[in-house]
Structure 1
Amino acid sequence: MAKAIDRIFSIIQSLGMSARQFDMSIGASNGYTLRMKKNNASVGSDILERIVEKYPFVNINWVVTGHGTMFGTDSSSSSSSDIAQDKRLTYKEVEAIIEQKIKAHQEQELKNLMDQIKKEIATTKKEME
Structure 2
Amino acid sequence: MRFVQQMSAENQYEIQTYRHVPKFVPAGQSTQMIIGATPESDYQILHVAESLYKKFDLKRVFYSAFIPVNEDKNLPSVKEQRPPLLREHRLYQADWLLRYYHFEAGELLDEENPNFNAYLDPCSGPVPPSACSR
Q: One fold, TM greater than 0.5? A: no
From the CA coordinates, give the structure whose radius of gyration is larger. 1
TM-score range, shorter chain: under 0.3
Task: Name the TM-score, length of structure 1 as normaliser.
Answer: 0.24
Task: Name the TM-score, length of structure 2 as normaliser.
Answer: 0.24
Greater strand fraction, Structure 1 or Structure 2: 2
Larger relative contact order (Cα-Cα within 8 Å, sequence gap ≥ 6): 2
